[in-house]
Amino acid sequence: MTTSTATARQRNRRTRTTNVSSQPALLVSELPLASVQLTHRAEVLACPACKTWCPLTLNKGTKEWKLAPHHTTKAGTPAARRCSNSNRLVVIDVSLVRWQEQRVEANADVAARRPTKVLRKVKAPQPPALHQLTPAAPTADTAHAAYVGHRSRCTACTDPKKRCTDGLRLGSAYLELLRREPERLVAQARTKQEQRRAVRQQAEEQPQRRADEWSNVLLPVFVADALRNIPLHGARGPIVPLALPVGARPIAQTPTANEVLAASPVRKRTS
């Protein structure tokens, strides 16, 4: 098989050739919407054979639409090969308005099928590991427990002919903390005393602070109480009388419907 030495040329939007491919015509209604562009004076079509975009041109003799002659590769590519769909007739059996409506409906469908944005769940904070915790300050008791535990496990500490450096270090730390234990106890007692003094002072100042807060809002409260005692009259409504007018009957003594009908002169005449 011989290899072509020609290079792929730029696809012309309008051609002068009257050649027509022997393949059956393509119907735009049967092609995917994404492979057709029917914008006026910019009609292009994705070739079904080579999947490349090429313009639609009018046949010079019959004024029918057809695919422009094109190669299967980009322009300038060596060893170009002519596509089998060159000059193939295209039947535009869909109006431009209907094609635009189908494009809008397809875009809406695609947007509805798109997954929503995934919101990552906030990770709960992990507690630190045991080796990451800040150790408590050593005391004489903890140093003594560590020294006794080491001597119970170490054979060099109980042998007078051997010398254990770890035992010496733990014993020296215990003696040093034992010497500083009174100072630590005094500092601890002083801290607790300061805390109790702060709590007591806060409890003593709370009534005075409460009285100061009431003094700040005393005037607005007095004004609100005075406005609440003003009777409702004028534009805010009529005054509600506390005593019944002369000749008025209480609600409990209001006559019923039967009493009104019995006292009616019309009923007396008919009876």
Mean of the per-residue pLDDT values of the chain? 79
- Joined together, the tokens standing for residue 61 give 């003799």
pTM attached to this predicted model: 0.38
Q: Is 244 exposed, middle or buried (0-12, 13-18, 19+ CB in 10 A)?
A: exposed
- Joined together, the tokens standing for residue 21 give 């491919």
The model's pLDDT over 52-83, given as tens digits with 9 standing for 90+, comes to 888 888 887 778 888 888 888 877 778 778 88
SS3 67: strand
**CA atoms of 199 and 172, how far apart (whole Å):** 40
CA distances from 59 to 56, 66, 196 (A): 10, 7, 103
The model's pLDDT over 129-181, given as tens digits with 9 standing for 90+, comes to 877 777 777 888 888 888 888 888 888 877 777 788 888 888 888 888 888 88
Q: Which range has the worst mean pLDDT, 91-100, 104-113, 229-238?
A: 229-238
User: Mean pLDDT across the stretch 106-110?
Assistant: 73
With a CB cutoff of 8 Å and minimum separation 6, the contacts of 64 are: 58, 89
Neighbouring C-beta atoms of residue 175, cutoff 10 Å: 14
Question: Which pLDDT band, with edges at 50, 70 and 90, does 1 fall under?
Answer: very low
> Looking at the predicted structure, is the pLDDT value of residue 194 above 90?
yes
**CA atoms of 125 and 134, how far apart (whole Å):** 18
Inter-residue contact 88 to 19 (CB < 8 Å): no
User: Mean pLDDT across the stretch 209-234?
Assistant: 80
- Joined together, the tokens standing for residue 254 give 């209001």
User: Mean pLDDT across the stretch 186-199?
Assistant: 91
Percent of the chain whose predicted confidence (pLDDT) is above 70? 78
What pLDDT does residue 121 have? 84
